[in-house]
Amino acid sequence: MNDSLSAGFARIDITPTEPHPGLQGFYNAHLRRAQRVLSPVCAHAVALGRGGDVTCLLIQTDLCEFWPFVFEAMRERAAKETGVAPGRIFINASHTHSAPDVNSDLPDLAAWREKELIPKVAQAAREAVEDLSPAAVFYQSVEIGRPGAYLNFVKHYKMAPVEKGDAWTNADLVDVGDNYGSRYIRDRAHWRFVAHEEEADHEMQLIRLARAEKPDILLFNFAAHAQITSGAKKTDLSADFPGAVIARLERAHPDLRVAFLQGCAGNVNPSTRLEQEGIPGLTSGKEKDVDAYAAVLAAHILPLLEEGAMTPSGTNTVDVRVKTVKAARDHSLDGMVEAALPIQARFLREGTSTELLRICWEKGFNSPYHALAAIKKSRQPATGEFELSAVRIGDAAILAAPFELFNTTGVRMREKSPFALTMVNGFSGGYHDYLPTSNTYPNSYEANEMEFVFGTDLVVEEAWLAMLREMR
């Protein structure tokens, strides 16, 4: 093998062999056991290097999110089996809300994590390294959907008093941060939806690693919560739309291997009403909704797989930067802990209910999740650390952070980046909850859940920009 850029790919099914695992995405894995496998969940590994030397490993997992202890265990095992330094192994989650709960201490899930998941992720890493082959880099971005029929939207609502009719002003509006039980959303007699907080980022970024002797590798990045097949009580284990898009692309191109990198989806949901595209209600709970959504996404990607449709990179450079950042943690809810404890006990025992929501509102909480967040955040230290990463692949770059990043972060980083194409990837390298942007409504669901204080998003952006400039 010569000194050109090289890339390798491998995929391993990580679906638990034991039936009915508890599912992640809405707490309470013991109350939401999988009844069937709608689609398997996998680990997808991409090795990047120069000639036969591995520069880094990108591993995408069809999981909701994984806490730092899970990430470290996966990374250490992969490093041991491949010889790649742990700091050059990047592992992310697609954020499907229908994956086994990887963080759970339930005996069956803990056994799956230790005996199946961690070894299989390492196996995928090893096989990707063994698959290394010379590759050329191509990249492209595409807008997904069109006005009135975009496939994602910012889930923060603005609502106006019904009695104001169309004569409302900005002073009349309330911001509703998708609080899952907000009194405004439920009180339709007095409040109505009039706008979203901001426009969603509708761009998808793609990087193609074209290999002469082996299947090409495609990485695609898009911002939308992977929760079409979940709902509050759905019991299908599923890779959700990322898995369905991958399946469609690989059926159309058997010589292609595809992996998904979740974008800044912290405040972005998949569109739920797209009649213009022939999709009558994507999150209505029908099992084929995810396939309909994936069909529209794949239809935007397929033309870019034709010869000459993507931009060739002017360089095949591969480079990596990693930075550990220290920041202040959020303790703004510490005064609400005593009121939150009985709500937490009931929620973990029974799940949510109309009666529990009423109790939450009486105690000053938007939802049970708000109460759980108050308890969790009160127990964390004053400051904390997290790891950011940046990977250069020719004229393209991939940025990654262990947060549910917000829409604006992705847009701003693309605008500021010195690279021709920049993917911004959340849920990578562990999980430290939401990272709202500084202008987000402070009483939103995500702001109440966030681990670090407002303004940390700007610290992250500054660190990323420094890494990008060094690589450029």
pLDDT digits (tens, 9 = 90+) for 339-382: 999 999 999 888 888 899 889 989 988 888 899 999 999 999 99
Quote the pLDDT of residue 254.
97
* Nearest C-alpha neighbor of 265 from the set 299, 292, 242: 242
**What residues in the chain have per-residue pLDDT under 70?**
1-3, 177-182, 231-233, 272-288
Quote the pLDDT of residue 233.
61
Model confidence over 372-381: pLDDT tens digits? 999 999 999 9
Question: Do 51 and 157 meet the contact criterion of CB atoms below 8 Å apart?
Answer: no
pTM of the shown model: 0.92
DSSP label at residue 433: -
For CA atoms 173, 175, 178, 182, give the dihedral sign: negative
Quote the pLDDT of residue 361.
87
Q: H/E element holding 98?
A: none
CA-CA distances (angstroms) from residue 450 to 325, 350, 402, 470?
16, 24, 12, 30
Quote the pLDDT of residue 275.
55
Quote the pLDDT of residue 283.
46
Quote the pLDDT of residue 277.
53
Residues 6+ apart with CB under 8 A from 1: 51, 52, 132, 133, 134
Quote the pLDDT of residue 180.
56
CA pair distance 400, 172, nearest whole angstrom? 38
* Nearest C-alpha neighbor of 97 from the set 222, 195, 238: 238
Calculate Rg over the CA atoms of the chain: 22
Tokens 């009558």 locate to 280
* Nearest C-alpha neighbor of 6 from the set 42, 57, 76: 57
Tokens for 386, please give them: 């997290």
CA-CA distances (angstroms) from residue 122 to 58, 185, 204?
12, 45, 29
Q: H/E element holding 237?
A: strand 236-237
Quote the pLDDT of residue 272.
59
Which amino acid is present at 445?
A: Y
CA pair distance 45, 189, nearest whole angstrom? 51
CA pair distance 168, 162, nearest whole angstrom? 9
Residue 28: how many other CB atoms lie within 10 Å: 16
How far is CA 199 from its chain centroid? 18
